[in-house]
Structure 1
């Protein structure tokens, strides 16, 4: 298992060395493993398939070069479908579906961005559609106000 995590981290780091053309989205359990090996905050994009504002975020905000760079440098990014009851994973000794984890994180509107500190203990939310500059401002306030500090 440790070898897989190390190989995964090497692949992630090598991707960062190349031009950052997109956000490096991981599955929730991959992000948890990565932050245990190399502590960083988790950025969880909680969405639904029917959410028009979620699609607008994907198309306009998450393709912005400054947003891509900021998220890839500061977070392990995760996409989580708040209505997916099929895909499951283990977290802190319990099995969750993506829908169960979204409910556990108290997400009630979409899009919603959940920030989890490197200890995987504390979360905060940044709800709603945002264009690139207001989105970066909101994330920056969370990061620079000490959330997730070691």
Structure 2
């Protein structure tokens, strides 16, 4: 229950802060992160073949910060260029099918959960919540 309250409070703060930015400050660009369509197991095979890390976005359809992340940070040209070049990107609903198993396996406490994992499924970095494009890029570049 505490995690839900924290997530909702963070979502409210993010949305409030977002509403005060001018349109010139929010320029997501024309690209977005290209997400692999398949299972984590299939993404791990691809990551081994391409010698890349997996970026795994575990979200929920009702999650405000998840929607904000998808509509802003994931569409930021700098973020999408970097992520599409350096990672096998995968998004999975944490409340359906494989997502339920991954939430348990990785001990996730809320949404969005952003994981960087190796091709064997080991966590390199795990973050919770919304990050603007600059923050997300800083996390990703810190892995190299």
SS, match of residue 23 in structure 1 = coil
1:36-75 alignment to 2 at 5 Å? 36-75=48-87
Among 30, 34, 45, the alignment partner of 1:33 is 45
Give TM-score scaled by structure 2 length. 0.71
After TM superposition, give the deviation of residue 136 of structure 1 in Å.
0.9
Asked which structure has the greater RCO (Cα within 8 Å, sep 6+), the reply is 2
Task: Give the distance between the partners of 1:110 and 1:120, measured in 2 at CA.
Answer: 19
Q: CA deviation at 1:121?
A: 3.2
Contact 1:35 1:41 (8 Å CA) reproduced: yes
CA separation in 1, counterparts of 2:128 and 2:57?
Answer: 10
Displacement of 1:22 in angstroms is: 2.6
Segments of 5+ residues of structure 1 without an aligned counterpart are: 1-19, 86-96, 145-150
> In 2, Cα distance between the equivalents of 1:123 and 1:140?
13
Quote the residue 1:126 is aligned against: 127
Distance 2:117 2:85 in 1: 15
Could you tell me which runs of 5 or more consecutive residues in structure 2 were left unpaired when the two chains were aligned: 1-29
Q: Judging changes above 3 Å, is the alpha-carbon distance between structure 1 residues 21 and 125 closer, same or farther for their aligned structure 2 residues?
A: same
> Higher strand proportion, which one?
1
Give the Cα–Cα distance (whole angstroms) in 2 for the partners of residues 101 and 58 of structure 1.
20
Instruction: State the partner residue of 2:34.
Output: 24
CA deviation after TM superposition for structure 1 residue 130, in Å? 0.8
